[in-house]
Structure 1
Amino acid sequence: MVTPFRRAAPGIAMAVAITAVSSSAPMVVLAHEGHVPPLAVAFWRNAIAVALLIPAALLWRRAEIRRLGRAGWRRCLVSGVALAVHFGTWIPSAVLTDVATATALVSTTPLWTGLIAVLQGRRPPRTTWIGVGAAVAGAALATGAGVTVSATAVLGDVLALIGGLAGAVYVMAGSRAREEMSTVTYTAVVYSIAALGLLAVCLATGTPLWGYAAAGWLAIAAQTAGPQLLGHSLVNFALHRLDPTLVSLLLLLEVPGAAVLGAVWLGQTPPVAAWPGIALLLAGVAVALAGQRAVRSTTPAHSPNGRVPSS
Structure 2
Amino acid sequence: MFYRQELRRLSQRNLVFAALAGSVLAIRFYFQIEAFNNSSVLLAGVFGGSGPLWVAIVEVLWLRAVFSRRVWAGISLSLVGGVIIALAGFDSGTSPGGNALLGAGLGLTAAFMSAFYLNFGRMARGQVSLLPYLWLIFSIAAVISLAVALLTGVPLTGYTDEALLRLIVLIITAHFFGHGAMNFSWKYMPATYVSVLSQIVVVTSAVGAYIYFNELPGPGQAIGSMVIVAGVIFVTFGRSSQKPD
- TM-score (normalised: structure 1): 0.60
Write the letter of the residue equivalent to 2:9.
Answer: R
The corresponding residue for 2:158 is 211
User: Are residues 113 and 175 of structure 1, via their aligned partners in 2, closer, same or farther at CA, if it must alter by over 3 Å?
Assistant: same
Of 122, 125, 134, 2:68 maps to: 125
Distance 2:239 2:194 in 1: 12
Is 1:112–1:168's contact at 8 Å kept on the other side of the alignment?
yes
> TM-score w.r.t. structure 2 length?
0.73
Contact 2:118 2:191 in 1 (8 A): no
The Cα shift of 1:292 comes to 5.4
Q: How many corresponding residue pairs? A: 240
Partner of 2:7: 65
Name which of 99, 113, 116 aligns with 1:169.
116
CA distance in 2, matches of 1:112, 1:206: 32
SS class of match (2:116): helix
Alpha carbons 1:98, 1:153 under 8 Å: kept: yes
Partner secondary structure for residue 61 of structure 1: helix
Match of 1:23 in 2: none
**Conserved? CA contact 2:38–2:99, under 8 Å:** yes
RMSD: 4.1
Within-5 A mapping of 1:1-311: 59-94=1-36, 96-97=38-39, 99=41, 102-103=44-45, 105-120=47-62, 121-138=64-81, 149-153=96-100, 155-233=102-180, 251-262=198-209, 275=221, 278-279=224-225, 282=228, 285-286=231-232, 289-290=235-236, 293=239, 297-298=242-243, 300-301=244-245
Instruction: Report the CA distance shift for 1:126/1:241 in structure 2 as closer, same or farther (over 3 A).
Output: closer
Q: CA deviation at 1:178?
A: 1.1
For structure 2, which runs of at least 5 residues remain unmatched after alignment? none
Q: 1:244 offset after TM fit, Å?
A: 9.0
CA distance in 2, matches of 1:211, 1:288: 47
Report SS of the residue matched to 2:159. Answer: coil
Q: How many Å apart are 1:191 and its aligned residue?
A: 0.9
User: Are 2:78 and 2:196, in contact at CA under 8 Å, matched by a contact in 1?
Assistant: no
More deviation, 255-264/95-104 = 95-104
Structure 1 residue 206 displacement after superposition: 1.2
Amino acid at match of 1:119: L
Distance 1:157 1:139, change over 3 A: farther
C-alpha distance in 2, partners of 1:277/1:152? Answer: 28
Q: Which runs of 5+ in 1 are unaligned?
A: 1-58, 302-311
Comparing 181-190 and 107-116, the one that deviates more: 107-116
- Contact 1:103–1:254 under 8 Å retained in 2: no
Residues 52 and 192 of structure 2 are in contact (CA less than 8 Å); yes or no, is this contact kept in structure 1? Answer: no
Distance in 1 between the 2:207 and 2:38 partners? 18
For 2:71 and 2:202, locate their aligned partners in 1 and report how far apart those are by CA, in whole Å: 21
- For 2:16, the aligned partner's letter is R
> In 1, Cα distance between the equivalents of 2:185 and 2:12?
30
> How far apart, in 2, do the equivalents of 1:99 and 1:264 lie?
20
Pair 170,128 (structure 1): closer, same or farther in 2 beyond 3 Å: same
Identity rate, percent: 26
